[in-house]
């Protein structure tokens, strides 16, 4: 004899009662229907055992979870992310199977998708802010120029990965101009000879050239 199945379309679970499997029987008991809909008309993401579940589709469940981590204030104020943040204080959220930047998602949910390789930039200069009115999509160049205009762009000896101070760069170029072999300069400063060559040619640390 064939096993009787749930009457809900697409469900192959074993029948329990009144035409439903155990899971759909519980959902029906909780919501009054085995297949509740989100307010937008899409199937709700319901869980029979989750008493705190709301009747929302997958998209609106994610959206509700997103804004639960935001300290929303007046429109002209920063809405700061209260969830997980990066070391640089940018918000992070696990979204559709991957980790996403909260400020980037805020722009996309506002109907302004950020193209691939572009950045979600802040007019407020406040990394945890996700207020869409404080955000705009910008190219990598526009993002850097925005940082420079606000004095946040690190370069030269202020960059955390800088190998040399400004004084050392100037000394290396001076020694090279006086005829010292680049291999000897590299040995003196503990550098790769190709890096010294790029310094002398002005391909590296061009900020020092601008000041000389």
pLDDT tens figures, 171-182: 888 888 888 888
93, 130 Cβ separation under 8 angstroms: no
CA quadruple 196, 197, 199, 203: dihedral sign = negative
Q: Which of 155, 190, 186 is nearest to 172 (CA)?
A: 186
Question: Residue 85: beta bridge partners?
Answer: 91
Q: CA 82, CA 129: separation in Å to the nearest integer? A: 10
Indicate the pTM of the whole model.
0.49
pLDDT for residue 99: 86
CA–CA distances in Å: residue 85 to residues 94, 124, 165, 168, 176: 12, 18, 31, 36, 46
Q: What is the pLDDT of residues 37-68, one digit of tens each?
A: 777 777 776 655 444 456 766 666 677 778 88
Residues 6+ apart with CB under 8 A from 145: none
**What confidence category does residue 155 fall into, taking pLDDT thresholds of 50, 70 and 90?**
very low
């Amino acid at each position: 004899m064939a096993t009787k199945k749930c009457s809900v379309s697409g469900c192959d679970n074993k029948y329990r009662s009144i035409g439903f499997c155990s899971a759909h029987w519980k959902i029906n008991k909780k919501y009054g229907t085995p297949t509740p809909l989100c307010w937008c008309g899409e199937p709700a993401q319901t869980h029979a055992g989750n008493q705190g579940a709301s009747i929302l589709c997958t998209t609106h469940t994610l959206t509700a979870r997103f804004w639960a981590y935001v300290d929303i204030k007046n429109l002209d104020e920063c809405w700061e992310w209260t969830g997980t943040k990066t070391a640089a204080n940018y918000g992070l959220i696990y979204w559709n199977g991957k980790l996403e930047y909260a400020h980037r998602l805020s722009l996309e949910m506002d109907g302004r998708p950020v193209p691939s390789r572009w950045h979600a930039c802040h007019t407020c200069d406040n990394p945890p802010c996700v207020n869409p009115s404080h955000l705009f999509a910008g190219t990598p160049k526009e993002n850097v120029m925005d940082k420079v205009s606000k004095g946040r762009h690190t370069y030269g000896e202020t960059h955390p990965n800088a190998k040399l101070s400004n004084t050392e760069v100037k000394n290396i170029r001076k020694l090279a101009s006086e005829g010292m072999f680049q291999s000897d300069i590299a040995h003196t400063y503990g550098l790769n000879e190709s890096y010294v060559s790029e310094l002398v040619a002005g391909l590296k640390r061009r900020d020092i050239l601008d000041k000389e």
